[in-house]
A = this chain, B = another copy of it.
Amino acid sequence: MSNSQKQNAFYAQSGGVTAVINASACGLIETARQHSDRIGKVYAGRNGIIGALTEDLIDTSQETDADIAALKYTPSGAFGSCRYKLKSLEENRAEYERLIEVFKAHNIGYFFYNGGGDSMDTAHKVSQLSETMGYPITCVGIPKTVDNDLPITDNCPGFGSVAKYVAVSIREAGFDVASMAKTSTKVFVMEVMGRHAGWIAAAGGLAAEKEGDSPHIILFPEIAFDKEKFLAKVDATVKQYGYCAVVVSEGAAYEDGTFLADSGTVDAFGHKQLGGVAPVVAQMVKDELGYKYHWAVADYLQRAARHIASQTDVDQAYAMGKAAVEFALAGKNAFMPAIVRESSSPYKWSVGEAALSEVANVEKMMPRDYISEDGMHITEKCREYLSPLIVGESYPTYKNGLPEYVTLKNIGVEKKLENAFKV
């Protein structure tokens, strides 16, 4: 391919960020730089796909190799991400056409979209439309989501690190509570992310390696909350072990679908109080059993916790970014690299592939046999699946006692289009 045919690439981060989405960006940009004979510049969307729609592109070639390498150790989305779901082709074809218009203006031949199910759907549609519009673009998805809900791939980059954070944290808090329970807190409740799927809550279960270990109870969104059964288990656990540690998913809900977090708390003005299932569960324990409680809500801390990222997760995130470029160069259009599990023990994995059409809008739920019969813990089968994903510690470097995370220059690319686009 002659130099004149060399095309640029566009990369965007999408949806909730993770501790390792920048590791995918690192793998992608480093690999693209190794193929400068075939890929021109890598442009990134400022604030994700919005940057493409508004022609607000970042020229990553202005970043040093050292800063790109540092992305591997930096949480969050270095170019900005957004929660912006493109409407269906029927509803807003103009958005897709605009994307292609921008890609064309900047000689972009490769579209890399780093996100979850919605993003894979978008990448798929762009691929289809670009063909019909006579400006074919190679579209490659890169899996990312702490929720671990993409199909086909063994797991989603971002999940392993939040899983490790949650397992480490509930182990540590469990030790703390156990040592004070005689005269102080007897029940500790930790709230974790996962509105629809209990993967993150399940990861907390890894900390319980032997009988009596923290956590004793896990509340999943998949299992309808049974107050009586829950309280009975809390009480029995306190009586047996002196304390009880609970991991609750933000998506935990009653049989009728009402989130526990929505169960009636109002503020001083009578407004329904938003968020926080942990305090609701803790208060329930206090009201019904009288035990002293404490609760924690990790919120963004869990998905931003690069300081305790899983090495496996970092490696896989990087590999997905790298493979995306290799896919593009091999002409694999409308695919997503995927993690293939070769074996669980020892954990062996390789890079496989998934057609975007098969990934788009499919949610991988927790199998019922990953949850114990009583619905409040994980099974051995689940442990076998989850355990390898948190293995290895990938520590950032520190300066003055704080992790050195990079902030890129993020220099914009000159606009070429006359028309603005309102998102």
Residues of the B chain whose Cβ atoms lie less than 8 Å from the Cβ of A207: 402
Selected contact of A206 from candidates B184, B296, B305, B401, CB within 8 Å = B401
Is A283 touching B294 in the complex (CB atoms < 8 A)? no
Chain A contacts with B in 81-112, Cβ cutoff 8 A: 81-84
Residues of the B chain whose Cβ atoms lie less than 8 Å from the Cβ of A173: 299-301, 304
A8 contacts the other chain (CB 8 A): no
A380 contacts the other chain (CB 8 A): no
Is B268 touching A263 in the complex (CB atoms < 8 A)? yes
Given the contacts A267-B264, A402-B207, A307 and B81 also touching, CB distance less than 8 Å = no
Is A295 touching B275 in the complex (CB atoms < 8 A)? yes
CA distance A286 to B173 in the complex (A): 31
Selected contact of A171 from candidates B182, B297, B403, CB within 8 Å = B403
Protomer copies: 2
CA distance A299 to B303 in the complex (A): 17
Is B172 touching A401 in the complex (CB atoms < 8 A)? no
Contact bitstring A275-299, B, C-beta under 8 A = 1, else 0: 1101100010010000000111111
Tell me how far the C-beta of A230 lies from the nearest C-beta in chain B, rounded to whole angstroms.
17
A115 contacts the other chain (CB 8 A): no
Given the contacts A179-B80, A206-B401, A300-B177, A265 and B264 also touching, CB distance less than 8 Å = no
Tell me how far the C-beta of A213 lies from the nearest C-beta in chain B, rounded to whole angstroms.
9
Chain B residue with Cβ nearest A210: B407
Tell me how far the C-beta of A2 lies from the nearest C-beta in chain B, rounded to whole angstroms.
38
CA distance A209 to B190 in the complex (A): 31
Given the contacts A169-B301, A206-B402, A308-B307, A75 and B176 also touching, CB distance less than 8 Å = yes
Chain A contacts with B in 202-254, Cβ cutoff 8 A: 206-207, 209
Is A304 touching B176 in the complex (CB atoms < 8 A)? yes
Selected contact of A172 from candidates B13, B176, B206, B305, CB within 8 Å = B305
CA distance A312 to B393 in the complex (A): 21
Chain A contacts with B in 291-342, Cβ cutoff 8 A: 294-301, 303-308, 310, 312
Contact bitstring A186-199, B, C-beta under 8 A = 1, else 0: 00101000000000
CA distance A50 to B182 in the complex (A): 9
Chain B residue with Cβ nearest A295: B299
Residues of the B chain whose Cβ atoms lie less than 8 Å from the Cβ of A75: 172, 175-176
Residues of the B chain whose Cβ atoms lie less than 8 Å from the Cβ of A303: 176
Given the contacts A176-B303, A179-B77, A303-B176, A184 and B294 also touching, CB distance less than 8 Å = no
Residue with the highest number of chain B CB atoms closer than 10 Å, among A279, A283, A297: A297
Known: A169-B305, A172-B300, A310-B401. 20 other contacts (CB 8 A): A16-B180, A75-B176, A76-B178, A77-B180, A80-B179, A81-B180, A82-B180, A167-B402, A171-B403, A172-B301, A172-B304, A175-B304, A176-B304, A265-B267, A265-B268, A273-B279, A294-B300, A298-B301, A301-B301, A392-B401
Shortest Cβ-Cβ A-B pairs, 7 listed:
A264-B268, A390-B401, A76-B175, A77-B179, A296-B299, A172-B304, A176-B304
Q: List 17 A-B contacts (CB under 8 A).
A: A13-B179, A47-B182, A82-B180, A171-B403, A172-B304, A173-B300, A173-B304, A185-B300, A206-B401, A206-B402, A267-B283, A273-B283, A274-B283, A279-B279, A294-B299, A295-B297, A298-B298
